[in-house]
């Protein structure tokens, strides 16, 4: 796989960049191939997208179809206007294998073909950790130890302003969307604030797949209406990657099961690629829909990083990136959009989102006169996870402390004086006593 990726990079140097996220437990590289008209940089206003395959090492179809998909995009850049436009306006990151150690374990396992279809050899990483149960979970109190691969992907999610992604698996045929669990950990529907968007994302994948959306059980025992399911409604998973993305970043992710058999014979791979080609492309195109724009300072015209872009009546704001650029996936409709950042007056606008190309709306915020010191202090406190303390309170407390200290000092001086006085009297008495 490493060689194939290196060949792609060599053949298409102007639109690719192969970069390592780091090493697995057994020192295999977690490679990402970036496809963009300006590889290596975040272009202000352009959304970032990712596909991750082979998170469970024995679920191998995703790894292969992502390699095909990379080739399809790269070839399309020169002969397909739609793909060219997509690459010119999106930064695409593809990681064909998140668990290369598990893949090697599965590949070298000599189980029967049935065992390889349904088995678990190679599913976890080299230390036996199931990576899709290993992410910090919104409903779990305890902090868990993250596997090396989980840690690398988590930092990647925290670092890059991803807008949308999918995580590909095997063992069923369905597009699964957040949430994956509930506070009570029961296997029942667990709705996120963006349920409508997630359903539309999952449907885009399933309806463009020739088999996934058919309401006939493609895989034994599984039957999903339109080929989609809410994660927790299927079965409860805690520590899953898709929920981590949604809860902790701006990235909307779903989990797609692309084959009933986890490790099918190599002669079937071409068919799997053909079945998933349109779904992979149409899903990726969704990153250009919804709402996008910039949040800027009205006076300086500079982008504002970390502004909150909220949809009134929906509790999941996204935050603007370094240059003030933001993206908010939305299904068609009319929305009240409220933008807010400390130190500025909030601003609300009404926006109409249509099918296809994202609506574009910029916000120019006016500073509200809050003093810079106050803001900096507040930001430091927020970073430390504490509530900001107003500067007036700090000054007040300091004054009270100084006065208390002065009073205490005065008291000490008085006591010392009194003590010294007693001493002197005693000395005098002694002197008198000692006289004959």
Give the footprint of Zn ion on this chain (CB under 5 A). 56, 59, 169
Q: Cα–Cα distance between 165 and 198 in angstroms, integer?
A: 11
Q: Give least dist CB 219 to Zn ion, A.
A: 13
Q: Give least dist CB 331 to Zn ion, A.
A: 28
Residue nearest to Zn ion (CB): 169
Q: Give least dist CB 295 to Zn ion, A.
A: 38
Q: Give least dist CB 244 to Zn ion, A.
A: 15
Q: Give least dist CB 170 to Zn ion, A.
A: 6
3 state SS for the chain? CHHHHHHHHHHCCCCEEEEEEEECCCCCEEEEEEECCCCCCCCCCCCEEEEECCCCCCCCHHHHHHHHHHHHHHHHHHHCHHHHHHHHHCEEEEECCCCHHHHHHHHCCCCCHHHHHHCCCCCCCCCCCCHHHCCCCCCCCCCCCCCHHHHHHHHHHHHCCEEEEEEEECCEEEEEECCCCCCCCCCCCCCCCCHHHHHHHHHHHHHCCCCCCCCCCCCCCCCCHHHEEEHHHHCCCCCCHHHHHHHHCCCEEEEEEEECCCCCCHHHHHHHHHHHHHHHHHHHHHHHCCEEEEEEECCCCCECCCCEEEECCEEEEEECCCCCEEEECCCCEEEEEEEECCCECCEEEEEEECCCCCEECCEEECECCCCHHHHHHHHHHHHCCCCCCCHHHHHHHHHHHHHHHHHHHHHHHHHHHHHHHHHHHHHHHHHHHHCC
Q: Give least dist CB 56 to Zn ion, A.
A: 4
Closest CA to 124 of 98, 143, 144, 142: 98
Pairing state between β 333-340 and 308-311: antiparallel
Q: Is 257 a catalytic residue?
A: yes
Q: Cα–Cα distance between 285 and 69 in angstroms, integer?
A: 14
Name the residue nearer to Zn ion (CB basis): 16 or 97.
97
- Burial of residue 196 (CB within 10 Å: 0-12, 13-18, 19+) is middle
Residue in the block written with tokens 């339109």: 226
What is the token pair recorded at 305? 């990083």
Q: Give least dist CB 299 to Zn ion, A.
A: 51
Which whole-number Å values give the CA distances from 95 to 66, 185, 360, 401, in the listed order? Answer: 8, 30, 30, 57
Q: Give least dist CB 234 to Zn ion, A.
A: 12
Q: Cα–Cα distance between 277 and 274 in angstroms, integer?
A: 5
Q: Biggest alpha carbon distance in the chain?
A: 124
Name the residue nearer to Zn ion (CB basis): 54 or 249.
54
Query: Which residue in the list 64, 149, 257, 275 is annotated as catalytic?
Result: 257
Query: Where in the sequence numbering do the catalytic residues fall?
Result: 257
């Amino acid at each position: 796989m490493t060689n194939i990726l290196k060949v792609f990079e060599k053949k298409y140097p102007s639109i690719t960049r192969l970069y390592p996220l780091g090493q697995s437990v057994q020192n295999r590289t977690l490679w990402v191939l970036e496809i963009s008209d300006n590889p290596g940089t975040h272009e202000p206003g352009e959304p970032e997208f990712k596909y991750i395959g082979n998170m469970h090492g024995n679920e191998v179809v995703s790894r292969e179809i992502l390699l095909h998909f990379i080739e399809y995009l790269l070839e399309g850049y020169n002969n397909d206007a739609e793909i060219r436009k997509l690459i010119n306006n999106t930064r695409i990151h593809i990681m064909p294998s998140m668990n290369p150690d598990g893949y090697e374990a599965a590949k070298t396992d000599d189980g029967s073909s049935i065992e390889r279809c349904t088995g678990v050899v190679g599913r976890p990483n080299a230390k036996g950790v199931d990576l899709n149960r290993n992410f910090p979970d919104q409903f779990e109190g305890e902090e868990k130890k993250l596997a090396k691969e989980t840690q690398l992907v988590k930092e990647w999610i925290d670092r890059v302003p991803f807008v949308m992604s999918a995580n590909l698996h095997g063992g069923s045929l369905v597009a699964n969307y957040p949430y994956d669990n509930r506070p009570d950990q029961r296997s029942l529907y667990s709705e996120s604030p963006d349920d409508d968007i997630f359903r539309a994302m999952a449907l885009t994948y399933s309806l463009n797949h020739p088999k996934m959306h058919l309401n006939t059980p493609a895989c034994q025992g599984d039957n999903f209406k339109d080929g989609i399911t809410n994660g927790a409604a299927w079965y409860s998973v805690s520590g899953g990657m898709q929920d981590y993305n949604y809860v902790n970043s701006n990235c909307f992710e779903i989990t797609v099961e692309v084959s009933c058999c986890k490790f099918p014979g190599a002669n079937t791979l071409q068919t799997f690629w053909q079945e998933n080609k349109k779904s992979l492309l149409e899903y990726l195109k969704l990153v250009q829909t919804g709402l996008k724009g910039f949040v800027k300072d009205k006076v300086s015209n500079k982008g504002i990083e970390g502004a909150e872009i909220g949809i009134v009546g929906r509790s999941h704001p996204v935050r603007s990136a370094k240059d003030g650029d933001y993206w908010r996936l939305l299904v068609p409709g009319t929305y009240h959009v409220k933008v807010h950042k400390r130190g500025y007056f909030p601003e609300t606008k009404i926006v109409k989102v249509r099918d296809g190309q994202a609506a574009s709306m910029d916000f120019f915020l006016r500073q509200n006169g809050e003093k810079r010191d106050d803001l900096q202090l507040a930001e430091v406190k927020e970073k430390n996870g504490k509530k900001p303390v107003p500067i007036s309170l700090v000054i007040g407390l300091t004054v009270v402390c100084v006065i208390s200290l002065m009073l205490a000092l005065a008291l000490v001086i008085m006591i010392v004086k009194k003590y010294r006085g007693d001493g002197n009297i005693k000395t005098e008495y002694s002197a008198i006593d000692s006289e004959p």
